[in-house]
Amino acid sequence: MKNNVNKPVEVALVMGSDSDWPTVKEAAVALKDFGIACEAQVISAHRTPDRAAEFAKKAAGRGIKVIIAAAGGAAHLGGALAAHTTLPVIGLPIKSGALNGIDALLAIVQMPAGIPVATVTLGSAGPVNAAVLAAEVLALGNAGLRRKLDAYKKRLQDKVAQGDAKVRADLKGGTK
């Protein structure tokens, strides 16, 4: 993926298959909204294990600060990458297969002690939450990004307040 933000790439979006891209792309969009440059690659924990290990080992040296690892099914990608880096890895379970992503979610949350992989939700909130979590990690050392996150959270609060006002108005209007 081309870096359209013209900043150093700080977040790597890694997915086990190109079929994961429609979901992962939503994380890229959210990161761009925060002004965070990212890259995207397809690397399989099972089909290209040496490439996965090499990617993880070299990521920090290339300036990557957070890895978002998206996978469905057995979802070993996050753990495979985390085993070879001290960078934070965020696991993004992909809805797919016979279990509709529950297998991926369970695989990601069952990492052994010492190999943490943060995990976000299945479904459309997952890629957004992965991007927000990555932004929160990066904001620990970036006051400007922290302000963007504060503004983002304020917009979420405003959206809830608008929804509340709409429901209350509808109730007063006597819905059928």
- Alpha helical stretches, state H, 34-172: 49-59, 77-82, 102-109, 125-139, 143-172
User: What is residue 176's predicted lDDT score, i.e. its pLDDT?
Assistant: 56
Angle at 56 between CA 5 and CA 119, to 5 degrees: 80
* Alpha-carbon gap, residue 16 to 46, rounded angstroms: 9
User: What is residue 74's predicted lDDT score, i.e. its pLDDT?
Assistant: 86
List of residues 6+ apart from 94 with CB closer than 8 A: 15, 16, 20, 23, 70, 71, 72, 75, 101, 104
Average pLDDT per 10 consecutive residues for the chain, totaling 176 residues: 68 96 97 97 96 98 98 93 98 91 94 95 96 98 96 97 95 75
Classify burial at 81, counting beta carbons within 10 Å of its beta carbon; exposed 0-12, middle 13-18, buried 19 or more: buried
